[in-house]
Chain A
Amino acid sequence: MDNVRPLQWAPSLQAYSGQWDDASARHLLRRTHFGVKLAELKTVKELGLTATLDILLNDQLAQPLPPIKEYNPTNATVPDLLIAGGQTWVNDPTTDGTINSLRRSSFKKWWVGQMLNQQISLREKMTLFLHNHFATESVDIGNAQFLYKHHSLLRKNALGNFKNLVKEITTDPAMLVYLNGQNNNKTAPDENFAREIQELFVIGKGKGAGFNEADVKAAARVLTGWRNNAAEIKSFFDPNRHDVNDKQFSEFYKSKKIVGKTGADAGSNELDELIGMLFETDEVALYLCRRIYVWFIHYQITPEIEEAIIVPLAQVFRQNNYEIKPVLRLLLGSQHFFDLMNRGCQIKSPVDMLIGMLREMEVKFPADTQYTNQYGLWNQLVNYLTNMQQNIGDPPDVSGWKAYYQEPGYYKFWINTDTLPKRIQYLDTLVAIGYTFGGFKMVVDGTSWIKLFPNPSDPNSLVEALCVHLLGVDISASHKAQLKTDILLAGQAQDYYWTDAWELFIGTPSNMANTKHVSTAVTNLIKYLVDLPEYQLC
């Protein structure tokens, strides 16, 4: 089962020259967003591939408004009473543990909201990519203001320059907490960040990664002296805690020596040299391109793919001084990306699954003015995601979610005998019952939704359209026929049985018996489709 590709298949980064049809457009949107709305598909289809890529990669999109105070602080020792409900808390430095905990939770709800409200843009998917790549855990960071600042850094750089981002991440307050950089000082260097920047963030563990333990120790000494100022929500450099001795690196880094420096700029200057040294290696671009490949295409990187895709992509990354956009444009516009063999082969992450489902079925949420209900429902989604093992803001550890690095299963890690039933249960709940908060129900309105499809009164066309829209892998014609008969025709043989019922529903919705019948049939059909293993793929 190692390699199921046919032999004649040759990976290539050449620009996609195939047809720009619904299927290609849907494939691109599925991989670059969480779920696909019909309207988005229509827009993109009309734009064509090149113009679509322009929009996906537009980094000038306005940044969203920050998370707000939607919580009740009365149990806190020092409640943040100066901030009114509905106003943002992100600039208010508090050290109260309860408030920080409420705000961390507020942040996660808000993030779910951003994903639900995503526009046609790569930003949300890339923000999550960077969160998985520079994985941090909000519970360990503790300070909610640091947490939001860190997240904003990822969000702003989602389509930016990777080298700059690494530099900023290194002295980012949240990261200084999470990987102990703030405790790293000349008398007893703490190696945590120095190790992970090489092993996980920049160099990786590929065959060509040759850094050693001495490099970890030397990098730790370069990074001594950085501390946090919670009151100002920023980090600073303390020269008194900095190791001013020279730092010698191994042959992997061309025996680079970073001469020890003194003074207020020593930390920043040595950091520049360190980053420069890391990015001099070929490994950085190779590693990042493999990570991007696993994120957007599939985890099987065969020697042919390494050669034909990863190596040239890495070359482009280096030539563009580590700008992310040219790499994404090349990969997502390539023959290889659109190859039929690469479609439908991702097991959806919980975010893909849940946010995608709510988006593609146009589930409605309360307006911003009703922020308590809005955040309340978003919170339930955070809980669902957590139970399905994708607790955004709190991946399992600094290496991120196993689905993106753990041999041999990769995406398969999302699915096991515990999480698969949960996925189905949550999907069924949202399709059939809904979840209510503050009198507002989050539920799929099946009949309203299928009105958006071209020809819902024709049961063949409806089943076909829903399968195409929802399933990662198509089901057989006989399977569809049976679905139609069992669910839409209630066991009858003639298509007009459904057509009549649907038209009666459209013309006379007040006919409660028929309306109930139609909406039950639609709910059952959608429920059946999302319960299929094929719906787990995108």
Chain B
Amino acid sequence: MKRRRFIRNVAPAGFMVPSFVQGIGFRAFDTGHTFLNQVLLPTGDNDRVLVIVQLNGGNDGLNTVIPIDNYSKYVNARKNIFIEESKILKLRGHERVGLHPAMTGMQQLFNEDKLHIVQSVGYAQPNFSHFRATDIWMSASDSKQVLNSGWLGRFLDEAYPGFPAGYPNVNMPDPLAIQIGSVASLTLQGPIQPMGMSISNPSSFYNLVNNIESPAPNTLAGMELSFIRETSRQTQKFSEVIKAANAKVIVQNPYPTGNTLADQLKIVARLIKGGLKTKIYMVNYGGFDTHANQVESGNNGSGTHARLLGNVSSAIKAFMDDLVYLGIDDRVLGMTFSEFGRRILSNASRGTDHGAAAPLFIFGSRVQGGISGSNPIIPTNAGVGDNIPFQYDFRSVYASILSNWLCVDDGMLNTVLLKNFQNLPLTKLGTCSVLKPVGDPENLLVVYPNPFHKLIAIQFKTIGGHTLLQVLDGAGRLVKIVYDKEVAEGTYRIDFDGEHLPPGIYYVRLQNQLIQQVKSILKV
């Protein structure tokens, strides 16, 4: 088969990993497993796992991670839904950023350096349709690009070439990915076929009979028939290993009840501990499309959104505690995502309409705690269409996880994500490769005159390498790529002609390797 590359080697430095017998390479970690150890260990504990928590409906980022330094503007934009300042949960070492009061579990994780917040994650030309936006996030496409495979589906297809032919095998006896629930996600869709397995109850599988097969005809019907047969085969192959893994774990740390996200994460913890070598788990939790009654009248700290965030927070906290209890917390990294954030301005029905960029969470014992990015800029008089511009492309988050957690090499990374993206320090140093943590951001971007009418000068400082300058409008749409070059370290200036633009708020975004900054500019 094509593509045998897995995963870059890191320890010891410079040690090359050969392509292995069954086409599966190995990666070595800094957690004491040497390359040889991995060869000798037939099952599990040396494998990293990624857990994706999808928050369906578009989570309101501004009421999740609250910009305390912009508090009065925040209140002004959200007169009927703002969270009282005294109720906002404080984050250790970050007095300008706070969490929604329902998120005490996440607060605790943050203060223990087990939670990383990435601010304003999104992409240029945000799409406001749930369905299209979800596809964009799951397929890791550009806004206007339609991809029919998912980012993790492509990863798994690269990492386990030829799947499902030849699987299960000695190196991968288990499903590559498991989706908790009865629906298959685009995220796990490979270029040709689904790479994941859906299960809702790991303790019971209805036994499928192995029937004789008549040849599938060369028609559309034959194509669908082959698919059903393959699903049947996979179900038969994997149901026993899942049942066995599930049965191995008898005692778990407690989870909250009446919380479907917690129910799902509990299964995930059990399957990981039970010894599955499965790389990816997906869970989801819905109801975030809060157009109306997002908060309770007269008590903005409670209501629908509070209940949702409270459940997310307590489920993730319980999951983390359980992973520690089961002794597998070093192997698991989690991330949340939602198809978009919501509008800066709240609507009259105590809700918020579809928006653009929003924060997301990375959690795990090996996470590099802290916050990437700064608080979103909130205009003094936000209009109905105003959105939070993105600071980080969502694919930078994916790239960082693939590269620094799943230890994917650069060549494969390009195949999976189709382009180069910034690498962010989301995980602890040395998980795969060394990344310099970003210190306090220096002011790298100076704009003048501001407000401007025609020309505005953009002065920027780059550490060298690829440097990108974009101008976005108030709704987060890309107006122009002003600069997109490989340059030497230094300070540069470029003039942007905005005469043709309608008056209003715009944003200049600088991206240079790990660094990015956003400045608002006002066209008059």
Interface of A with B (CB < 8 Å)? 1, 4-6, 180, 183, 185, 187-192, 195, 199, 205, 213, 216-217, 298, 300, 340-347, 387-389, 396-399, 402, 405-409, 411-413, 415-422, 424-425, 472-476, 479, 482, 528, 531-534, 536-537
CB-nearest residue of chain B to A191 = B353
Given contacts A217-B384, A420-B232, contact A532 B211 (CB under 8 A): yes
Given contacts A192-B291, A213-B128, A399-B131, contact A531 B209 (CB under 8 A): yes
- Chain B residues, CB < 8 A from A396: 183
- Give the distance in Å from the alpha carbon of A397 to the alpha carbon of B354 in the complex: 15
- Chain A residues, CB < 8 A from B132: 205
B221/A345 in contact, CB under 8 A: yes
**Interface size, B (range):** 35 or more
B215/A476 in contact, CB under 8 A: yes
Given contacts A183-B292, A345-B220, A407-B146, contact A402 B183 (CB under 8 A): yes
CB-nearest residue of chain B to A205 = B132
- Give the distance in Å from the alpha carbon of A213 to the alpha carbon of B206 in the complex: 47
Given contacts A416-B183, A420-B208, A425-B206, contact A4 B223 (CB under 8 A): yes
B228/A533 in contact, CB under 8 A: yes
- Chain A residues, CB < 8 A from B348: 183, 185, 187-188, 190
- Give the distance in Å from the alpha carbon of A424 to the alpha carbon of B210 in the complex: 12
A180/B291 in contact, CB under 8 A: yes
A213/B475 in contact, CB under 8 A: yes
Q: Of A185, A402, A419, A537, which contacts B221 at CB under 8 A? A: A537
A482/B184 in contact, CB under 8 A: no
- Give the distance in Å from the alpha carbon of A399 to the alpha carbon of B131 in the complex: 8
CB-nearest residue of chain B to A398 = B130
A191/B228 in contact, CB under 8 A: no
- Chain A residues, CB < 8 A from B148: 407-408
Interface flag for B224 (CB, 8 Å): yes
A-B contact sample (12 more), CB < 8 A, given A217-B384, A473-B221, A473-B222 = A195-B354, A396-B183, A406-B186, A409-B194, A412-B227, A416-B182, A418-B200, A473-B217, A528-B211, A531-B209, A534-B214, A537-B221
Given contacts A213-B475, A421-B235, contact A189 B384 (CB under 8 A): yes
Minimum distance in angstroms from A153 CB to a CB of chain B: 23
- Give the distance in Å from the alpha carbon of A4 to the alpha carbon of B217 in the complex: 10
Interface flag for B256 (CB, 8 Å): no
Task: Report 28 cross-chain contacts, Cβ distance below 8 Å, ordered by A residue.
Answer: A180-B349, A183-B351, A185-B348, A187-B348, A188-B347, A189-B347, A190-B291, A190-B348, A190-B349, A195-B354, A217-B384, A217-B385, A300-B220, A345-B224, A397-B130, A399-B130, A402-B183, A407-B148, A408-B149, A415-B227, A417-B198, A420-B231, A424-B209, A476-B214, A479-B214, A482-B212, A533-B229, A537-B225
- Give the distance in Å from the alpha carbon of A475 to the alpha carbon of B225 in the complex: 11
- Chain A residues, CB < 8 A from B220: 4-5, 298, 300, 341-342, 345
- Chain B 177-197 interface mask (CB, 8 Å, partner A; 1/0): 000011110100100101001
- Give the distance in Å from the alpha carbon of A173 to the alpha carbon of B486 in the complex: 57
Q: Which 10 A-B pairs have the closest CB atoms?
A: A188-B348, A345-B220, A183-B349, A344-B221, A421-B206, A476-B214, A533-B228, A425-B206, A408-B148, A418-B198
CB-nearest residue of chain A to B238 = A417
CB-nearest residue of chain B to A533 = B228
Minimum distance in angstroms from B340 CB to a CB of chain A: 13
Given contacts A345-B219, A407-B148, A416-B198, contact A479 B212 (CB under 8 A): yes
Interface flag for B199 (CB, 8 Å): yes
- Give the distance in Å from the alpha carbon of A526 to the alpha carbon of B183 in the complex: 28
Minimum distance in angstroms from B280 CB to a CB of chain A: 15
Minimum distance in angstroms from A442 CB to a CB of chain B: 19
Q: Of A411, A418, A475, which contacts B214 at CB under 8 A? A: A475
Most chain A CB within 10 A, of B129, B194, B228, B292, is at: B228
B199/A536 in contact, CB under 8 A: no
Q: Of B219, B234, B291, which contacts A4 at CB under 8 A? A: B219
- Chain B residues, CB < 8 A from A342: 220
- Chain B residues, CB < 8 A from A199: 129, 131
CB-nearest residue of chain B to A5 = B220
- Give the distance in Å from the alpha carbon of A416 to the alpha carbon of B354 in the complex: 31
B182/A213 in contact, CB under 8 A: no
- Chain B residues, CB < 8 A from A388: 182
- Chain B contacts with A in 157-195, Cβ cutoff 8 A: 181-184, 186, 189, 192, 194
Minimum distance in angstroms from B235 CB to a CB of chain A: 4
- Give the distance in Å from the alpha carbon of A183 to the alpha carbon of B352 in the complex: 12
Most chain B CB within 10 A, of A185, A205, A406, is at: A406
- Chain B residues, CB < 8 A from A216: 128
CB-nearest residue of chain B to A389 = B182
- Give the distance in Å from the alpha carbon of A107 to the alpha carbon of B306 in the complex: 32
Interface flag for B205 (CB, 8 Å): yes
- Give the distance in Å from the alpha carbon of A385 to the alpha carbon of B513 in the complex: 50
- Chain A residues, CB < 8 A from B205: 421
- Give the distance in Å from the alpha carbon of A298 to the alpha carbon of B220 in the complex: 8
- Give the distance in Å from the alpha carbon of A409 to the alpha carbon of B220 in the complex: 13
A416/B208 in contact, CB under 8 A: no
B128/A419 in contact, CB under 8 A: no
CB-nearest residue of chain B to A408 = B148
A420/B228 in contact, CB under 8 A: yes
Interface flag for B145 (CB, 8 Å): no
- Chain B residues, CB < 8 A from A183: 291-292, 347-349, 351
- Chain B 410-453 interface mask (CB, 8 Å, partner A; 1/0): 00000000000000000000000000000000000000000000
- Chain B residues, CB < 8 A from A413: 183-184
B221/A472 in contact, CB under 8 A: yes
- Chain B contacts with A in 281-305, Cβ cutoff 8 A: 291-292
- Chain A residues, CB < 8 A from B221: 343-345, 472-473, 537
Given contacts A419-B198, A421-B235, A537-B224, contact A213 B385 (CB under 8 A): yes
- Give the distance in Å from the alpha carbon of A182 to the alpha carbon of B75 in the complex: 26
Most chain B CB within 10 A, of A1, A420, A421, is at: A421
Given contacts A213-B385, A417-B199, contact A411 B224 (CB under 8 A): yes
B128/A195 in contact, CB under 8 A: yes
CB-nearest residue of chain B to A396 = B183
- Give the distance in Å from the alpha carbon of A489 to the alpha carbon of B205 in the complex: 31
A416/B349 in contact, CB under 8 A: no
CB-nearest residue of chain A to B147 = A407
Interface flag for B381 (CB, 8 Å): no
- Chain B 115-158 interface mask (CB, 8 Å, partner A; 1/0): 00000000000001111100000000000001011000000000
- Chain A residues, CB < 8 A from B291: 180, 183, 190, 192
Interface flag for B218 (CB, 8 Å): yes
Most chain A CB within 10 A, of B131, B224, B231, B232, is at: B224
- Give the distance in Å from the alpha carbon of A424 to the alpha carbon of B206 in the complex: 8
Minimum distance in angstroms from B260 CB to a CB of chain A: 14
- Give the distance in Å from the alpha carbon of A534 to the alpha carbon of B131 in the complex: 31
Most chain B CB within 10 A, of A183, A343, A531, is at: A183
Minimum distance in angstroms from A427 CB to a CB of chain B: 10
- Chain A residues, CB < 8 A from B229: 533
Minimum distance in angstroms from A232 CB to a CB of chain B: 22
CB-nearest residue of chain B to A411 = B224
- Chain B contacts with A in 314-369, Cβ cutoff 8 A: 346-349, 351, 353-354
- Chain A residues, CB < 8 A from B238: 417
- Give the distance in Å from the alpha carbon of A408 to the alpha carbon of B139 in the complex: 12
CB-nearest residue of chain A to B227 = A412
- Chain B residues, CB < 8 A from A192: 291, 353
CB-nearest residue of chain A to B346 = A188
Given contacts A416-B198, A475-B214, contact A188 B384 (CB under 8 A): yes
Given contacts A213-B128, A417-B197, A419-B198, contact A533 B232 (CB under 8 A): yes
Minimum distance in angstroms from A419 CB to a CB of chain B: 5
